[in-house]
Structure 1
């Protein structure tokens, strides 16, 4: 099955009864609310829950990123415990237009597992929700190494020759440094980055723009079809929304800086910029 990065509810409904399709709820709240409790109060029928902190991130290093990239072994074990086999087609959603669930989808796609984001997320679901938990039998997954060509290190980010366009997926006022954040010690953005907030991939109703609109959107930020693109955000989560949107737009091979601003901004000696980009 060829699976696009973003699918509609109708696309999913037509395949929901396929035993090879697993729907996954990836709700997460940075304000301390429990995504797991929200899942238990109502989720798509048959959906299993996956934890951003415990499953899609390795244990945090206080001196590093908030959501460290999980090791291949960590991800394989976590998804195996949730009963998600490596040959399943995964359809993931959240309740914030995909900005959280995108992390799972993008990580699976880069290791070759078919996965897609449910466009519009929970709010787009036309039908009854299921309460409680769905428990799938645990499975064994073999770890798949992360493809080095899809990720960048701080050294890569600091080298202008490593990419053509660097995108910041955070809200624009965090990019400029106008917004205060209790999460980060410094405000601003990585020098040379273009502002590409994850929410600008969406229309007024919270659905992704179509491919032609996304191509135009990213062209305004200097991205062409063959551009070498790197995306980052606060902690390597919402940047995956930009990466899936770029794929939808036909821009292949875009890369993630996993540490993102939570790593870069925590290093007092690493350069930053504030305000709008220089002309």
Structure 2
């Protein structure tokens, strides 16, 4: 059952962040990354929020790829803990993560922080663009924070395996967060097999955002997901190509007050086993 979320809002506006920086500065994490580039570290070097540390999605927020895994496996909890401590994250830290891609990569960091037990983690709504729009300053100075002491304890965000995702598609709602044409199997620019998990429903992450790149209002998101069959009585799961943008869908659902499970391996893991069925078309 989809219990309504009572935890800290997953989003923070640029104006709210500016005030927070004056009162109780959070740890800022720059998580810029896009499939196919540009290089996030290079963009960070050109300018970032003052005090923000750069976190690399491929190396810091993903584990090693194996013959059975998807393209972005979850990182080892100890490795994630080391990365976050190096960035200055403490057990009692407020953390704000941002990108310049509508929250697509920042959501991965947010999900991992929440998964690791850090409920005071939020995404800057609208990312770097929204910060600049209110006159927020950027810098090329690289911070050297005092090492943190955060302890990552996995399990605070629900996940499902491939088999559980297949069951969820039959008994609840399984959302496919990729572009609709990839869901239908009309094109597949990244993975070896086109199509989707049988009975999954197409729910592209791009529809979570406004044209300006921020998240839609909670009421709009609730209406969107209700139209996809998301109801209080139905368990919900989400997958994408590799588990990255699916976290954006989980974030959008959380913004609407709906808890959802992530299938971390997603489509790129699903197709590793040729015995798993593949569906094409509208579903």
TM-score, normalised to structure 1's length?
Answer: 0.92
Indicate yes or no: 2:271 matched with 1:265: yes
Compared CA separation, residues 112 and 16, structure 1 to 2 (3 A): same
State whether structure 2 residue 234 is matched by structure 1 residue 227.
Answer: yes
Alpha-carbon offset, residue 160 of structure 1: 4.3
Question: 2 CA distance for matches of 1:90 and 1:25?
Answer: 11
Match in the other structure for 1:7 = 12
| 1:152 Cα offset (Å) | 0.5
The 4+ residue runs of structure 1 with deviation greater than 6 A are none
Aligned position for 2:77:
72
Aligned twin of 1:192: 199
Is the CA contact (8 Å cut-off) linking 2:201 and 2:228 kept in structure 1?
yes
Query: Mean Cα displacement is larger for which, 88-97 or 60-69?
Result: 60-69
**Residue 215 (structure 2) pairs with residue 212 (structure 1):** no
Aligned to 1:244: 251
Aligned length: 273
CA distance in 1 between counterparts of 2:166 and 2:65 reads 23
The residue number in structure 1 matching 2:153 is 144
Cα distance in 2 for partners of 1:38, 1:102 equals 18
Higher relative contact order (CA 8 A, sep 6+): 2
Which whole-Å CA distance do the structure 1 matches of 2:110 and 2:151 have between them? 18
- Decide whether the 8 Å contact of 2:169 with 2:198 is kept in 1: no
Cα separation, partners in 2 of 1:257 and 1:163, compared to 1, 3 Å: farther
CA contact (8 A) 1:154 1:257 kept: yes
1:23 Cα offset (Å)? 1.2
Would you tell me which structure has more helix in proportion to its own residues? Answer: 2
- Are 2:121 and 1:115 aligned? yes
**Counterpart position of 2:89:** 84
Aligned counterpart for 1:179 among listed residues 162, 167, 187: 187
Distance 1:251 1:270 in 2: 29
Post-superposition Cα deviations, 1:222-270, rounded to whole Å, max 9, x if no partner, equal: 0013421100111111111111111111212x10000001101232221
CA distance in 1, matches of 2:212, 2:66: 37
Evaluate the alpha carbon distance shift between residue 23 and residue 203 of structure 1 in structure 2; reply closer, same or farther with a 3 A threshold: same
Per-residue CA distance 1:85-135 (angstroms, 9 max, x = gap): 222111111010101100111222233311111111111113221114222
Contact 1:163/1:229 (<8 A) preserved: no
Q: Deviations over 1:192-212 (max 9, x none)?
A: 111111110111221211111
Normalising by structure 2, what TM-score? Answer: 0.91
In the alignment, the residues of structure 2 paired with residue 235 and residue 97 of structure 1 have an alpha-carbon distance, to the nearest angstrom, of 18
1:135 has 2:144 as partner: yes
| Paired residue secondary structure (2:62) | coil
